Every structure is written in structure tokens, then in C-alpha cells.
Structure 1
Amino acid sequence: MDYLIGVEIVEDTDEAMTLEIMLDYKRMSTMQILQRMFSIDRSMLLDLGKALKNMDTDLAKDIIAREKEIDRLYFLVVRQLKGAVEYQQIAEKLGIESQRDCLGYRIVVKVLERIADHIENIAKSYIRLSDIQKETQLDEFIDLTNDVVATFEKSVQALFTRNDEMAETVFDELKKVEKSHSDISKGLFKIEDIQSAILMKTMLDSLDRIASYSGDLAEVAINMSTEIS
């Protein structure tokens, strides 16, 4: 799939995979692709929690492989937005109500791409950590991952529905994540193995960045809801 230009996975379940030939970048709306990117990011995050809980490095490797699909979709959306900015007809065909929204969508697609990068980074760090410590207990990381998932879901829901009130609550969720990040970070100083501590700090910081990106999505949601009110 990596080298099949124009072929995208539009649905992937345990029972079937649906592919679509997308040589024409206008065949799917921008929102459909963003929703697909969110779905992949979310599944990667949820599986990350499972991998940490079950000490499953194979699942972590599968998470890493999925990041490539996000990259393909990212470049597709960037191509769409470039056309939408230049031509109103293309914007309308892509479901973009106003060309002013292109800036917001440009931020969103970059955020979704960066979130996938950080999930990949966590998975890679976890695999290296498991090589050092076969029975690593990461209960606090699992709890934090669950909180990050919830914050991410809320920010995206606020964005897709342009609900500024819901978006505002995301910042309250971020305070909880920041406290957990601080508490876990302090505990890392007690770990004797320096390499393990560094890998865990890398994982922790990436989780914190994902949460921060959720805040960025909430800000876009607020800005877009203001434009239509």
C-alpha cells in the first residue's frame, strides 16, 4: 500500500478493508478525510493503551505501521486546500463552506498528522523500553493515555460540530492532564536505570504534546464557531 499512489483505505474493520482510487483529489470531501484521520489517530491511541496494559510489542509495531496512512492523507488534504484557496468552485466541491475555513483546516490537518507522529514516537519508545525491562508496569501511563484520548475526542467533536461551549471544556480537561504529567514526571527521578527513565520521559512528553494539540483543535473549533454565529 505504501507505494500505490492514489489508493486510500476508506474503511478498515476486522472483517473487511475498503479501498478507493483517489487520483482525483476532489472525490472525497475535506471533512471526510479529516474524520478518517481522526479515526486512525483515535484507534492508534486506544491500541497504545492496550499495548501498554498487555505489554504487547506486536501491537505497538502495528501502531507504528498505521502512521504512514496518516501521512498519505495529510498530503492529500494539503493538496485539496491549495486548490480550494485558489478556486471557489473547488472549495464548494470539497464541502468547504468558506475559503476562510481553509486556514483552520490547514491547522487541523497538521495537528492530526503531528498527533500520529507522537503516538508513533511513544510506541517506538515503549518497544525499546520493553527490551530493557520485560515486565515494565505502566499503570500511570495507561491512565494518562485514557485521559488524553477523552480530551482528544472532545476537542474533535467540538470541531466537527463547531460547538464552542464544548471546546471551552477541553481546557479544563487539559489541566487534569497537566497535573498527571507533572506527578508522573516527578516519579521518574526515582527510577535507577537512566535509560529506562529517559524512554519513559519521552513517552510522557509525547502524551503531553498530544493533549496540547487537542487544545489547538479546541481553539480552531471556537474560531470557526464564531465565524458562523
Structure 2
Amino acid sequence: METRKIQITGKSTYIISLPKTWINKIKIKNGDSVILIPRSDGTLLVNPKLEKNKELTKNTINLESRDTEKLFRKFIGAYLAGYDIIEINSIEKLSPTVRQHIRQMTQHVIGPEIIDETINSVKVKDLLDSSDLSLIEGLKRMFMITRGMHRDAIVALRTHDIELAEDVESRDNEVDKFYWMIAKQYNLVMNDMFFADKLGVKSQEVLGYLLVARSIERIADHAKKLASNTKHVTGKIEIITKIVDASEAIMKEFDEAMNAFNRNNFDHANEVVNKARALSKITQELTQEIFLLKLPSMTIVSLAYIIDSLERTRAYVLDIAETAINHQFITTILVEKP
């Protein structure tokens, strides 16, 4: 941190000098213009970025083995960090299997596309402006997909529809896409406070959206697990009716939690917190009941996993409601600041 004294030139012009180290780092010169942005907290931001030709950021991933899971983790890490170009290099010739895996990786995220390939490298570029998708729209899309996944997983359980259960499992990737996009937007805001302005939100608000997105992504994961376990439950089992009822109660609070977050309503969110906590009694009773049933061990285990997924879903709904409360206070402070 450096301190500068204010000087007066003429009768009404106040000037300060800018640190030379900052000038050299930003690479601005005599005659260049900067943007001055007064903030609500009394600070003044000096922004040297006047939407000139942006220098693309690049990350190089060296493929050292055939471990495709490791490659995927590195790719997602580079994507979340906000790199414009991700280049995957190998000392040896890239096999068709690895190339296919790289294509599949680009399909798991929003924006990146393969723009160039050589014998031993693949270049991927993010063709989407990350500010084009608003946080509100991203959350809404995640919620709609996840809500449908859970609903159809319960239908598959009730009707023994294996094909529907497998369809539910396949939709999880779509939720992951939007979650990673929101996580990427959060990281971009942390690195560039002006990116929040492009998104149409305050930088302090973005954490709330990320936390809700994370909870929705976890609910989608459990909808997938729920669907997977329904394939091992056959025959007419009375407890399934109770499981369906518990699911409907939890999904109702899921809807209400999202409404409370979107509307910044403390009382609404607080009510959801109380109701979501009360629902834990239902899942506990179901857990105790299944072990009294005289059913094949595989069926008992699958039902136990299903009820566990319902309980975890309830817990994530509770997290969303609590995040909505915290988010409401943050946005209120931002509005009240002069």
C-alpha cells in the first residue's frame, strides 16, 4: 500500500501521482486514459482497462501419462480459473482414445471448443463470453434440471421404470455444466472486480449464488444416486408410498428455498429453515422402518441408499434456505450504503 498527497492545480483541479511500479505493470503511458469509478463505500477505483484488445490468457497442460481422470481434473481446473485457451501437449503422438476423451471433456463445460489439432497437441478455446449467462439464469436452469431429475427418479421408483432411471442419470452432466460456469464466474469476479458489473451484480453477492449452485449440484448428484438405486427395487413394497410422500415434502421446501433466495425474503427463508429441519424426523423414521422389512438384502440396501439420498437432499435444501438468509442481509447492506 502506498500513500499519496493530494495537490491542487489551478482553482478547482485536484491531482495525485500514480505509483510507477503500477504504471509499469499495467503498461500505460503518457496520454492514455483511465476510468475513475466512485464506489458506495467512499473509495475511488482507477481502471486502466478501456476495453482494448484483451490479451488472451493461456494454460498449457502437459500430458505425462494415460491417466484421463487426471487430465480431466487439470482441464476443469484451468477452465474454472478462467483461461481463454487451454493447450494439451504430449511428447508422444496423441492416440485416438485420448483425442476422443478431450472432445468429451469440452462437452462437459459451456464455452470451450477445439480450434486446432496437431499430431501431439490439441488447442481448446473458450468461445463464450462468461458474462453472457447471468447468475440468475444459470441458477434457474440448474434448478429446473435438478427438480426434473428428482421427480423422474421418484416416478421410476414407483413404476419400476429402468429406462427412465437411466435417463435421469444421464442428465447430471447438464447440471455440472452450469455449476462449473457459475464457479468460473465467481473466480473471474475475485480476479477482476469489474467483471461483476458485466454480470449485473455486486461482487459481494456472487458468493451467495455460488453456494446455492453448489447445493443444487449436490441435490442433482443425489437424484442420480436415487435413480441408480431404484433399478434394484422390484415388486410391490408398501414403504415406497411413504418414500414418495417424503420426497414431495422435501421438494416443496426446495421450491420454497429457491423462491426465498430469488426474492431476498428473510421471513420466507426462515420458515423454510424450520420446516426443512422438521423433515429430518420423517427420514429417520423411514430408515428405522426399512430394517424391519422382510425383503431381499439387495432391496433393503437400495432402499437405505434411497432414503439416505432423500435425507441429504433435505440437508442441502436447508443449506439453500440458510444461504438465502445470509444473502438477504448482504444485499440489504449494499442497498443501505450511501
Q: TM-score, normalised by structure 1?
A: 0.86
Q: 2:160, 2:230 within 8 Å by CA — same for their partners in 1?
A: no
1:217 partnered with 2:320 = yes
> Which protein has the larger Cα radius of gyration, Structure 1 or Structure 2?
2
Does structure 1 residue 228 correspond to structure 2 residue 331? Answer: yes
* Aligned residue in 2 for 1:150: 252
Shift of 1:23: 2.1
In terms of fraction of residues, the more strand-rich structure is: 2
Between 49-58 and 23-32, report the one with greater CA deviation.
49-58
3-state secondary structure, aligned to 1:190: coil
Match of 1:88 among 193, 196, 203: 193
Task: State the AA in 2 paired with 1:203.
Answer: I
Contact 1:49 1:146 in 2 (8 A): no
Q: Is 1:126 matched up with 2:230?
A: yes
Q: SS of 1:84's equivalent?
A: helix
**Structure in which a larger fraction of residues adopt helix:** 1
The alignment of Structure 1 onto Structure 2 pairs a total of residues equal to 213
The aligned counterpart of 1:43 is 148
Quick one: which of 109, 117, 129 aligns to 2:213? 109
Deviation of the 1:104 alpha carbon: 1.7
CA–CA distance in structure 2, aligned partners of residues 52 and 7 of structure 1: 35
Aligned counterpart, 1:14: none
Q: What is the deviation of 1:22?
A: 6.3
SS of 1:100's equivalent in the other structure is helix
For residues 304 and 287 of structure 2, what CA distance do their matches in structure 1 show? 7
Deviation at 1:58, TM superposition (A): 1.3
CA spacing shift, 1:214–1:200, aligned 2, 3 Å: same
Deviation at 1:7, TM superposition (A): 6.0
> Could you say what secondary structure the match of 2:203 adopts?
coil
Distance (whole Å) between structure 2 residues aligned to residue 171 and residue 194 of structure 1: 35
Alignment of 1:26-41 (within 5 A): 26-41=131-146
Look up the equivalent residue of 1:197 and give its one-letter code: I
1:100 to 204, 214, 218: 204
- Please give the alpha-carbon distance, in whole angstroms, between the structure 2 residues aligned to 1:120 and 1:228: 34
Q: Could you tell me how far apart the structure 2 residues matched to 1:80 and 1:228 are?
A: 19
CA displacement at 1:66 relative to structure 2 = 0.6
CA distance in structure 2 between the partners assigned to 1:224 and 1:6 by the alignment? 26
Larger RCO (alpha carbons 8 Å, 6+ apart): 1
Aligned partner (choices 250, 263, 266) of residue 164 of structure 1: 266
> What residue ranges of structure 2 are gaps of 5+ in the alignment?
1-102, 113-125, 333-338
What CA deviation, in whole Å up to 9, does each residue of 1:159-202 have, x standing for no partner?
Answer: 11111111011123224421211221111111232222111111
TM-score (structure 2 length as normaliser) = 0.59
1:227 and 1:51 mapped to 2: Cα distance?
41
What's 2:290 paired with?
188
Residue 46 of structure 1 and its aligned partner are, at CA, apart by 1.7
Shift of 1:55: 2.0
* Aligned-partner residue type, residue 57 of structure 1: I
| Aligned partner of 1:74 among 172, 179, 195 | 179
Q: 1:59 to 1:7 in 2, by over 3 A?
A: farther
Return the offset for 1:136.
4.3
Give structure 1 regions of 4+ aligned residues with deviation exceeding 6 angstroms.
none
| Deviation of the 1:6 alpha carbon | 3.4
State, as a whole percentage, how many aligned pairs show the same letter: 26
Task: Provide the rounded CA distance (Å) in 2 between the counterparts of 1:27 and 1:227.
Answer: 24
Query: Deviations for 1:78-111, whole angstroms, at most 9, x for unmatched residues?
Result: 1111111222221111122x21122222211111
